[in-house]
Amino acid sequence: MRIHGIRDGKSLPDTTALFGAPSPIRNDRDLRLMIQVFQSFTEMMASRPRATLSYRPQANGQ
């Protein structure tokens, strides 16, 4: 299944409930799209994103 754009993401919760969460999320590294995707996803899931520092091993389970 391919999701093209944010409008098609409205069916993502239904699809996730039926088939599980998608493991790969492929993109062309356009930050504008990825920001919109993750903002929409966190709003749909009612969660808050938390970023860790990439060089901090304690935060990354190491």
CA distance 35 to 28: 13
Q: What pLDDT shows up at residue 7? A: 54
Q: What pLDDT shows up at residue 19? A: 82
Of the two residues 22 and 1, the one the predictor is more confident about is: 22
Of the two residues 53 and 26, the one the predictor is more confident about is: 26
Q: Are 13 and 21 in contact (CB under 8 A)?
A: no
pLDDT tens-digit series, residues 8-49: 555 667 777 888 876 777 767 778 877 887 888 888 888 877
Tell whether the model's pLDDT for residue 61 goes beyond 70.
no
Q: What pLDDT shows up at residue 44? A: 80
Q: Are 40 and 11 in contact (CB under 8 A)?
A: no
Structural domain boundaries in the chain: 7-60
